[in-house]
Amino acid sequence: MTRETLHFINGQFVGGQSGRLFDNRSPLDNRLVSRVHEAGRAEVDAAVRAARAALTGPWGRMTADERAQLLHAVADEINRRFDEFLQAEIADTGKPVSLASHIDIPRGAANFKIFADTIKGVATEFFETPTPDGKGAINYALRVPKGVVAAICPWNLPLLLMTWKVAPALACGNTVVVKPSEETPSTATLLGEVMNAVGIPPGVYNVVHGFGPDSAGEFLTTHPDVNAITFTGETRTGAAILKAAADGIKSTSMELGGKNAALVFADCDMDQAIETTTRSAFANCGQVCLGTERIYVERPIFDEFVRRLGEAARSMKPGRPDDPATKIGPLISHEHRRKVLSYYEKAKAEGATLVAGGSVPQMPGELAEGAWIEPTVWTGLPETSAVVREEIFGPCCHVRPFDTEEEAIRLANDTPYGLAAALHTTNLARAHRVGAQLEVGICWINAWFLRDLRTPFGGSKQSGIGREGGVHSLEFYTELRNVCIKL
Ligand SMILES: NC(=O)C1=CN([C@@H]2O[C@H](COP(=O)(O)OP(=O)(O)OC[C@H]3O[C@@H](n4cnc5c(N)ncnc54)[C@H](O)[C@@H]3O)[C@@H](O)[C@H]2O)C=CC1
Ligand SMILES: O=C(O)/C=C/C=C(\O)C(=O)O
């Protein structure tokens, strides 16, 4: 029998009043994973009401230490049910076990631990204030939760990016309503079971399923009783949500798209640069907002770099998630593959030199129905090409030579986006000098996706507003309330 994916509202798994369901299909072979209940205004309203009520229930009376203990229990329970989370994530996304078991699920648990620990160590500001009578006053600032937080989540790293929002929101004492991507509803729903098992009070964590416009996403972001919205996804969607938030004067945190550059200098460790760039361009089938889609290589090593990156791309074997030989999974959906392939067509039409890939691989048996695509490397396109300027979000990159450091910096910064960059050089002075001039939220030197969860994370320019991570998340998920006591 086909499984149904339900909403999780006020501690209970419930269907929708509208009776509308949509298909959740595996991108591996297009088989039906589950039928998902779509939330209308009534379910979103019920979820927001439950979240609002929970703020003044047992959850609202807990100390930060008590909340932290519960969040540690959530992390432990995710780890105990690791395989269920892994299978749910793989069913929705088709990503290789090697990837999901090293990144997606462990980070899902780690996100709860880091924010549980962060919240316990937060100091508050305090001022002694002179007054005319000489007795003075003291001022101190309390950090209070913002209230009901709406978390609008993407499909590329579903558990990882959802818990990156939920964990700090809960650590700070808020309640949440999560809207997972319509492509990946499973792990957010499974997390509801974990919340109940460890004793998170009903209404603190809620999940509603559906789409964006005229569906759960829009109903949630326009809901008058939502206090804050955290979003990860495409820049255009971020703009639509910002407009909705403006009407309700809601605070927002926006983690948006990127068109990230890698700069490879002739003095780099070539083996390391190839290994790292292969990951940054092709990991998760290129569906990482931090991924590299533009590579600039210093001219003396350009030919060797292109040849070796092409070999690496061709060696990325697609296949079943549990096959240890599998190096790359499918794209998230056929619709997304149509988008990525339209860029493959544009590159061809504009006369790019195809170094590797460029089309759809032949897959055996039922895998032929999946959203597979070849990792692709191009050279020879002008910087004005849509392929070089727009976020593709697929396993592809364009490589171009440069001659001077200044030119490399100019090329890297010539984009409306500003999320991440990677520099490859063994010259420490150059790494500092160039790294400081790149207009991005995060710059890796001889690395990529090396994450310390205490550091500020977010984008500049059209890649986002705000920073999350460690104490920076607390800035978004709490409000400062000043108390002034006349002595
Ligand atoms: N992390 C990132 O930077 C990501 C970027 N993308 C980019 O976005 C493109 C489109 O993928 P989508 O999943 O459609 O991304 P999206 O940005 O449209 O959707 C992300 C989330 O926002 C919701 N949403 C969409 N429109 C909304 C609205 N008006 N109000 C409230 N919620 C809304 C969606 O249902 C989903 O949960 C991809 O091809 C890729 O280029 C997609 C996912 C993640
Ligand atoms: O928080 C992280 O470590 C990863 C973030 C990745 C994204 O935000 C993304 O791919 O959208």
Task: Give me ligand 2 centre to Cα 111, in Å.
Answer: 12
Q: What is the pLDDT of residue 457?
A: 98
Nearest by Cα to 346 from 400, 313, 388, 314? 388
Looking at residue 151, which CATH number applies to its domain? Answer: 3.40.605.10
Q: Are residues 281 and 427 in the same domain?
A: yes
**Active-site residue numbers?**
255
Give Cα 125 distance to the centre of its chain.
31
Q: What is the pLDDT of residue 18?
A: 81
**How far apart are the C-alpha atoms of 276 and 298, rounded to whole Å?**
17
What ligand 1 atom has the least distance to the C-alpha of 213? 29
Q: What is the pLDDT of residue 16?
A: 85
Asked if residue 24 is part of any domain, the answer here is yes
Residue with tokens 């160039």: 434
Asked if residue 159 is part of any domain, the answer here is yes
Residues with CB under 6 A from ligand 2: 154, 156-157, 161, 164, 232, 255, 288-290, 451, 457
Task: Please give the ipTM for the structure prediction.
Answer: 0.95
Q: Are residues 232 and 288 in the same domain?
A: no
Q: Taking the model in full, what pTM does it have?
A: 0.97
Q: Are residues 198 and 296 in the same domain?
A: no
Structure tokens at 187: 């792990």
Q: What is the pLDDT of residue 245?
A: 97
DSSP class per residue in 291-314: -EEEEEEEGGGHHHHHHHHHHHHH
Range of the domain at 139: 4-256+463-486
Q: Are residues 264 and 251 in the same domain?
A: no
Residue 209 beta carbon below 6 angstroms from any ligand 1 atom: no
Q: CB–CB of 370/390 below 8 Å? A: no
Nearest CA to ligand 2 atom 8: 289
Q: Are residues 297 and 189 in the same domain?
A: no
Q: Are residues 303 and 241 in the same domain?
A: no
Q: How many domains does the chain have?
A: 2
Q: What is the pLDDT of residue 478?
A: 97
Q: Are residues 113 and 248 in the same domain?
A: yes
Q: Are residues 51 and 118 in the same domain?
A: yes
Residue 215 beta carbon below 6 angstroms from any ligand 1 atom: no
Q: Are residues 175 and 279 in the same domain?
A: no
Q: Are residues 439 and 477 in the same domain?
A: no
* Cα-trace Rg, the chain: 23
> Which residues in the chain show pLDDT less than 70?
none
Looking at residue 399, which CATH number applies to its domain? Answer: 3.40.309.10
Asked if residue 457 is part of any domain, the answer here is no
Q: Are residues 280 and 402 in the same domain?
A: yes
Asked if residue 133 is part of any domain, the answer here is yes
Asked if residue 458 is part of any domain, the answer here is no
Q: Are residues 245 and 347 in the same domain?
A: no
